[in-house]
Structure 1
């Protein structure tokens, strides 16, 4: 089991004393951002370099990179630089995710208690559904999905919900490449998937029996924000014995109730699904 033991940590002093060039660049870039944020107004290269105690050519290099990445803009008339709203949007996304996790946790625990099954919370990304949190069932057999896993749209209940209630652009990730076959039962027919997504839109929930793991099914429902936009899904997952391909009405009702409760806590006054 020695392969499971972490290697000894490098002493912090040596890391700080001689950081790799990549870390130095990253640190300097954040120093540029933090200084500009603290200033709160456009600034020229010379003044920024002086404030940072950094060579002007190096400061300009970082500004140019940040501009190319969309974090900094330059006024063509004054040649001064300012931060764009991209950082604000990133901060807002982090805040939204934190609130989502906070609001969802109690509902996830209750849903696990009601159903006895593993419950997951997933957010929508351009390439699939990112698992944010898991409340595992008290069972000797565990679903192996972990927080951080990215689930494909076509082969997950979460993904089918996203395609049904999310923006149309999500279909780009599905139609842009062949659909991967994860198990012998995974659907790779686009027409069949479109029909399944339409059925999901009508009934407000989706399943994906044996689409990602043999013998395992999931039942997912959408979570909406204050603007009635899809922001996440809540899912129960378990063996086909406990989460059958045609789930019982009581199980569907429990998942929808949890999704509606989280949505309301996030400001959705009228649950669309």
Structure 2
């Protein structure tokens, strides 16, 4: 729900417009005004006005046959232009491509945010099992390889928030508990890699490693993603060495003097 008590009218409009875009981005199917309004706790007429403005700006398209709305690629291209100009993605992309070719699996780059790991770049490989994760997807901290790396190497408050959410039944650990998660965190801290077999997507596993900036802070993760048939819960030494080598190379390019392992 949008909280507008402490915002002026201009800021309210900006916050509402971005909230609508973010809500639509979470769904692959076209969106109805009623559904967006209900999800955001906004009046239907207000949502309709903002959608019409976003249509005029080219960020949203309305299907004349169904009157439903979908995002255009304008935001994607804007985000891609920003990503292409950052040091992280420009440094990481050739390493990601080399890693993909070395292991024959899709490779992703993600950055930590308050509520999870945001995928900002993907280098795909054509396989019978296609990874449906898209740039912009937000992966959970407690049920993704990237999230476990963040819990091990990122802000200490990450774990506190997960524990509080778990205690309040706001997140599910898929039948596991904090003892299990703490063991996963400890392993990621010791080895610099983590896996999440079928935790994010059925039939899919991922092995992730941390990328550090010049000051030794977690900047991102690089991750190999593929079928559980190829990336086992106990991954091969080839996958482990490859993802760690890629993470070490990018970290060095960002100015890190010594990688932890």
TM-score of the superposition, structure 2-length normalised?
Answer: 0.65
What aligned pairs does 1:24-43 form with structure 2 within 5 A after superposition? none
Q: How does 1:36-115 map to 2 (within 5 A)?
A: 98-115=86-103
125 and 97 in structure 1: CA distance in 2 versus 1, 3 angstrom threshold? farther
Kindly state the Cα deviation for residue 271 of structure 1 after the two structures are TM-superposed: 0.7
Unaligned runs of 5+ in 1: 1-20, 27-93
1:251 paired residue number: 239
- How many residues are matched? 183
Which residue of structure 1 lines up, in the alignment, with residue 221 of structure 2? 233
- Where do residues 105-254 of structure 1 align in structure 2 (5 Å cutoff)? 105-178=93-166, 180-181=171-172, 186=174, 188-254=176-242
Structure (1 or 2) with the larger CA radius of gyration: 1
| Offset from partner CA, 1:115-149 (integer Å, 9 cap, x none) | 01010000011110000100011223211110111
After TM superposition, the runs of 4+ consecutive aligned structure 1 residues lying more than 2 A away are 94-97, 178-182
Aligned to 2:29: none
* Aligned mates of 2:130, 2:115 — CA distance in 1: 26
Shift of 1:96: 11
Show structure 2 runs of 5+ residues with no match.
1-8, 15-81
Kept in 2, the 8 Å contact 1:123–1:129? The answer is yes
Q: Deviations over 1:47-77 (max 9, x none)?
A: xxxxxxxxxxxxxxxxxxxxxxxxxxxxxxx
TM-score in terms of structure 1 length = 0.62
Shift of 1:195: 1.0
The one-character-per-residue Cα deviations of 1:225-246 (angstroms, maximum 9, x if unpaired) are 0001011000001011111111
Shift of 1:200: 1.2
- Are the aligned partners of 1:187 and 1:193 in contact in 2 as well (CA < 8 Å)? no
Contact kept, 8 Å, 1:180 with 1:188, in 2: the verdict is: no
